[in-house]
Amino acid sequence: MRIIVIVAIVMLAACASETPTSDAPAEAAKSLTPGEYAMTSTVTAFRATDGTTPASKAKVGDLTVTKACVAPDGTLDPAIFAALDEKCSATNAYIRGGRMSLQLSCTRPDAPGQIMPGMDGKFTADHFEGTSTTTTYLTGPGDYALTRTVSAKRIGECPPAAPAKS
């Protein structure tokens, strides 16, 4: 009887000391790898917040692809979240240890006021994904709230900067 108990204990110990399989999660990246990224976003929710027609042509299901660069210091260009005619700047950015949280402030010529996108997600060295939410605070009618899922992958080096105009 003692032999059976000892064999069972040895077998349990052997099972407990197995090395992790390749399915184990990879160690979180410290920052995004510099370079150009292509981001795909899909609108998952869209609604007016002031009871008027939203100042956006977005529809649930819309898919867009944007490109922007990550600088050598790991800073993500806010242009990747901007619509074609928006100008955005980061008001708060945290991209560390596999986690990212960004808050942006954007303006658009045809929609005076503030457009406030934010993104929460996770990243590896060459990929990020998460949820982006945008809320507007316009000076006139058209306020809206928009939610998108986003996924981006590094596609190469950043294109050379255009020469400065003299």
**What's the chain's average pLDDT?**
84
Q: How far apart are CA 58 and CA 46, in angstroms?
A: 7
Would you say residue 15 has pLDDT above 80? no
The stretch 60-79 carries a mean pLDDT of 92
What does the pLDDT read at residue 30?
86
Q: How far apart are CA 128 and CA 41, in angstroms?
A: 12
The stretch 78-95 carries a mean pLDDT of 88
Output 28 or 127, whichever has higher pLDDT.
Answer: 127
Indicate the Cα dihedral angle 145, 62, 130, 24, nearest 10°: 150
What pTM was computed for the model? Answer: 0.77
Closest by Cα among 114, 116, 147, 151 to 133: 147
Domain ranges of the chain: 27-156
Q: What angle do CA 7, 11, 16 make, to 5 degrees?
A: 150
Q: Work out the pLDDT band at 19, boundaries 50, 70, 90.
A: very low
What does the pLDDT read at residue 164?
64
What does the pLDDT read at residue 98?
94
Which helix (DSSP H) or strand (DSSP E) does residue 3 occupy?
helix 2-16
Select from 2.60.40, 1.20.120, 2.40.128, 2.130.10 the CATH code of 27-156.
Answer: 2.40.128
